[in-house]
Amino acid sequence: MRTKFSSKVEQDYRIFFIFMTLLMVGVYVLSLVQNPALRQPGPAILLTILLAIHVTLHWMVVQIIQVPKRTAMYILGQGLLAFIITYLSHNTGMVFALFMALIGETIGFLGITRWGILSTLYYLSLSLTSFIIFLNVADALSLLLTIIPVVIFIGMYVTLYLRQAEAREKAQALAAELESANRQLSEYAARVEDLTIAAERQRMARELHDTLSQGLAGLILQLEATDAHITNNHPEKAKSIISNAMEQARAALSDARRVIDNLRQPSLDDLDSALRREISRFTETTGIPCEYRADHSQSASSPDGIPDSVKETVLRAVAEALTNVANHAQARKVAVHVRVEDKSLLVTIRDDGVGFDLSAIPSGHYGLLGIRERIRLVNGSLEIQSENGTTLKIQIPL
């Protein structure tokens, strides 16, 4: 036996309980007025006590029906109590008031179910018995036929009312969930903003480390060597080192300006043109020739459809790789190959330099780390080969 009360429906049922109580009190007073025998102390006290118990049980129904066994006892007990009260009052109006209230209440917490229908038939049989006691069988059956449409109306009304109350409760719960989701979205937006700021700081650190940090470190070493030669009275060697330091300072300044210019660049409209400019700048600065080739398969999307985030990642990765070639590779030529294939952007950067040991990268050098971080942010992958030169293979899904 399953009940259907919820907290909101329980609150709304108080209106029904108040109306039911007033109706029963009215019929009780009417019975006392119409039946002089009930005004005797004994019958009056008994009727008053029984009716008070009956009404009190109505008000306690929500707590009682939480346990299925108590629900069955409640239905049976309230039916018998109503039958005794109607028998004492000898008033057909009391039959309507008590049993119609019980039927409406039962349909309310049991619904149009097997148990709800059985409980309704139980109350109707007690009503018919009361009518037969007060009237003859024909009149009792006639009144019962009058009651049945009322019972159907009560069942429909209570069912619709419960559905409306439950729908209102669900709407309020949904509104609360939406409000909670809105708060979470606001919190997530704040977190994303913080992460964006942190990512931008990391990006700027990656952009500047090979220009300022490495440039200044080289200048310090050369100045220390110059100081040592001056101390040892080797002015020619000191002069040569100073000349090299000046060239390195100019190169570092040029790289810093390039990085600042890239940071201020709002978007990359054409990846091919941006890569050509970067390669041209590399060749002019280092004198190392760099071959550039770009192609894409017919089945893949054109380069124009590449997202700006991917374009920027590729451009920064190529620029970083070329910077590493200029600073460490001692290469005589470089090749950059870009192609779109199988819904992926493939970039290959190859040089014929001295190569390096991947497991022996000194601390403080973040070039390759920066490239890996950039590619990871766009769900790409990086493969490095360093035999007979160095090859970087970048694959980014589109």
**CB-CB contact of 346 with 338 (8 Å):** yes
CATH of the domain at 314: 3.30.565.10
Instruction: Please report whether residue 199 resides in a domain.
Output: no
Q: For 271-296, what is each residue's pLDDT tens digit?
A: 888 899 889 888 887 888 999 998 85
Q: Is the pLDDT score of 365 beyond 60? A: no
Residue 289: predicted pLDDT: 92
Cβ count within 10 A of residue 34 = 12
Q: Is the pLDDT score of 235 beyond 90? A: no
Q: Report d(CA 130, CA 127) in Å as an integer.
A: 5
Q: Report d(CA 34, CA 387) in Å as an integer.
A: 114
% of the chain surpassing 70 pLDDT: 78
User: Which band of pLDDT confidence, cut at 50, 70 and 90, is reported for residue 9?
Assistant: very low
Residue 382: predicted pLDDT: 92
Which is more confidently placed, 83 or 362? Answer: 83
Instruction: Please report whether residue 244 resides in a domain.
Output: no
Instruction: Please report whether residue 52 resides in a domain.
Output: yes
Average pLDDT in the chain: 78
Residue 337: predicted pLDDT: 95
User: Which band of pLDDT confidence, cut at 50, 70 and 90, is reported for residue 209?
Assistant: low
Instruction: Please report whether residue 49 resides in a domain.
Output: yes
**23-32, 123-132, 303-312: which has the minimum mean pLDDT?**
303-312
Q: Where are the alpha helices (DSSP H) in the chain?
A: 7-34, 41-59, 61-64, 68-89, 92-110, 114-134, 137-208, 214-231, 235-264, 271-286, 308-324, 367-377
Domain-terminating residue out of 77, 101, 134: 134
Residue 269: predicted pLDDT: 53
* Three-state SS sequence of 290-342: EEEEEEECCCCCCHHHCCHHHHHHHHHHHHHHHHHHHHHHCCCCEEEEEEEEC
Mean pLDDT of 55-77: 82
Mean pLDDT of 221-231: 79
Q: Is the pLDDT score of 358 beyond 90? A: no
Q: Is the pLDDT score of 334 beyond 90? A: yes
Domain-terminating residue out of 134, 157, 182: 134
Q: Model pTM greater than 0.85?
A: no
List the domain range (segments joined by +) for residue 349.
Answer: 270-398
Domain-terminating residue out of 116, 134, 152: 134
**4-13, 31-40, 192-201: which has the minimum mean pLDDT?**
4-13
Instruction: Please report whether residue 96 resides in a domain.
Output: yes
Instruction: Please report whether residue 142 resides in a domain.
Output: no
Mean pLDDT of 165-180: 77
The residues facing 291 across adjacent strands are 335
**36-45, 188-197, 305-314, 386-395: which has the minimum mean pLDDT?**
188-197
Residue 218: predicted pLDDT: 67
Q: Is the pLDDT score of 266 beyond 70? A: no
- CA neighbours within 13 Å on the CB side: how many for 121? 7
Q: Is the pLDDT score of 355 beyond 90? A: no
**192-201, 205-214, 322-331, 389-398: which has the minimum mean pLDDT?**
205-214
Token readout for 262 is 């890239």
Residue 249: predicted pLDDT: 77
Residue 292: predicted pLDDT: 93
Residue 162: predicted pLDDT: 60
User: Which band of pLDDT confidence, cut at 50, 70 and 90, is reported for residue 199?
Assistant: low
Token readout for 340 is 């779109």
Q: For 80-96, what is each residue's pLDDT tens digit?
A: 998 898 888 888 888 87
Distance (Å) of CA 133 to CA 33, 156, 209: 21, 30, 103
User: Which band of pLDDT confidence, cut at 50, 70 and 90, is reported for residue 301?
Assistant: very low
Instruction: Please report whether residue 285 resides in a domain.
Output: yes
Residue 336: predicted pLDDT: 95
Give me the number of domains the chain comprises. 2
Instruction: Please report whether residue 59 resides in a domain.
Output: yes
% of the chain surpassing 90 pLDDT: 9
Mean pLDDT of 24-45: 84
